[in-house]
Amino acid sequence: MLRKSLFTLFAIGFATSLALQAQDIQTKGGAVAVSGENPGIRLMMKEGAPAATDVSFWRVIYSPAGMGHVAYVKSDLTGNGPSSDDVRVALTDNNALADYISNDIMVVFNREHVERPFPKARATFQKSGDTGKEWKETVKGDQYTVELTWRDFYTPFLIDIPVGGQFKYGINSMFIPAKSADVVINGKKVAGTPFPEKMGSMPSSSAFLAFSETWVK
């Protein structure tokens, strides 16, 4: 009997605690457009120069076009300017997702994705490492094998862009900037290096992990 009474008191206390906590929970209005991970690497030949290599990597756990991966890779491999060996491709395991990310998400930052669509190529995706020392994404397609590596991390921080602000989307994400990053395409390390940048008041980089990222509209 005593045990039953103690259990009842515990249950009542736990339910009351949850109710009090719920009063502090706020939800963000709008529909979820995409959620997952969006690491990026921009490598420059010198600070302030245009990116010689620009990679936007997506691992999507939810979108109206389903789950999957897209890696947008644009690289002047040697940093010597436009040439026949340049790479420009969207590697993906879900073509519908690649179209959705291009036309509805990436276009927010760069209209090139709809005005000059990236050629799509089928690929597989594998991650390794950890977010304390080194993180690696390996993308393998018929024509390209792309290895992306981030290391030597800054302190992580959160970003919160409200709906109706600078972009048509609200964006929440955890950033882990990297002081060092490599892009290797078909076994050859491409030219360039990441450089420090500011994200709001926080020290960041042109190479970063962006995890727990959700876009709402």
Q: What is the CATH number of the domain that holds 153?
A: 2.40.370
Return the half-sphere exposure (C-beta side, CA atoms, 13 A cut-off) of residue 182: 14
Q: What is the pLDDT of residue 135?
A: 98
3-class DSSP state of 113: helix
- The whole-number average pLDDT for the span 69-98 is 94
Rounded average pLDDT over 13-30? 64
Phi, psi of 65 (to 5 degrees): -100, 10
Say how far apart CA 198 and CA 120 lie, in whole Å.
32
pLDDT value, residue 23: 65
Residue 13 lies in a domain: no
* H helical segments located in the chain: 2-22, 95-100, 112-115
Q: How many helices (H) and strands (E) does the chain have?
A: 3, 14
Residue with tokens 């036309």: 103
Contacts of 68 (CB under 8 A, 6+ apart): 60, 92, 93, 94, 97
Residue 93, pLDDT > 90, answer yes
Cα–Cα distance measured from residue 43 to residue 76, given in angstroms and rounded to the nearest whole number: 10
Q: pLDDT digits over 155-205, tens only?
A: 999 999 888 777 789 999 999 999 999 999 999 999 999 999 999 899 999
CA–CA dist 51, 76 (Å, integer): 9
> What is the domain count for the chain?
1
In a domain, residue 167? The reply is yes
pTM given for the model: 0.88
Rounded mean pLDDT of 20-39? 82
Which range marks the domain in which residue 195 is found? Answer: 30-216
Percent of the chain scored above 90 by pLDDT? Answer: 76
Asked if the structure places residue 197 within a domain, the reply is: yes
Intra-chain end-to-end CA distance of the chain, in Å? 54
Q: What tokens appear for 119 in the block?
A: 């050629």
Let me know if residue 127 belongs to a domain: yes
Domain for residue 23, yes or no? no
DSSP element (H, E) containing 187: none
Going by C-beta distance under 8 Å and a sequence separation of 6 or more, which residues neighbour residue 110?
Answer: none
* pLDDT score of 7 more than 50: no
Residue 79: pLDDT above 60? Answer: yes
Q: How far apart are CA 71 and CA 92, in angstroms?
A: 6
CA–CA dist 193, 215 (Å, integer): 29
9 assigned to some structural domain: no
